[in-house]
Amino acid sequence: MRRTTPLSELTLAEPPRRSQLVEGLRARLSEVVPALRLIAEGVLGADSSIDFVGVEPTGRVVLILVGEEGDDLELIGRAVAQRAWVEPRIRDWIQLAPNLGLRPGAGTRAVLLCPSFRHETEAAAAALGDRAVSLVRYRCLLNGGNLEILLEPVAREVGRGSTPPRLDRSALPPFRTGLSHEDLGLTAEEYVEFE
């Protein structure tokens, strides 16, 4: 039977030195990217290092960048640069190692791990979209004498508590099939996905 730790024995801890933090995070990555297969660590990309490079079962490349407290805005800028650096190299990687499971055209996603994210960072990630960037908070806890790292994906907020904007359907062109926008019954978010 597995012993559970009482909450009174868990205390927040400062993150360990970077090498130990990255090692601890490696073991937890499948919690935020299910079925991720790591293929490289510490890859020199666009003028800086990519902490982890992995592949999802779909063949999409996943870049994982680890930041410290206060690094979140810089980290999202690095994610955009690293995605732009990796995209044109995927075909070369496939030629060099066809067994990696990479698929051309599957895209590249960045997962950013940081203790906290400012509203500006969350807004930038939302503007880039879920397929481009995901934000994950990490917390370090002491469980007795052992360091535990918890990962928490950051949920996307729509307008901070407001309802999504209404779509003015009268300004949209009619469908060639003769259907109207009302016939489809799509929400504003669903309709935008088809544009």
The type of residue at 69 is E
Gap between the Cα atoms of 170 and 173, Å rounded: 8
Tell me which of 187 and 156 has the higher pLDDT.
Answer: 156
How far is residue 111 CA from its own chain's centroid? 3
- Which range is least confidently modeled, 9-23, 88-102, 112-126, 152-166? 152-166
Gap between the Cα atoms of 42 and 40, Å rounded: 7
Nearest to 193 by CA among 160, 108, 133, 184: 184
For residue 182, is pLDDT > 70?
no
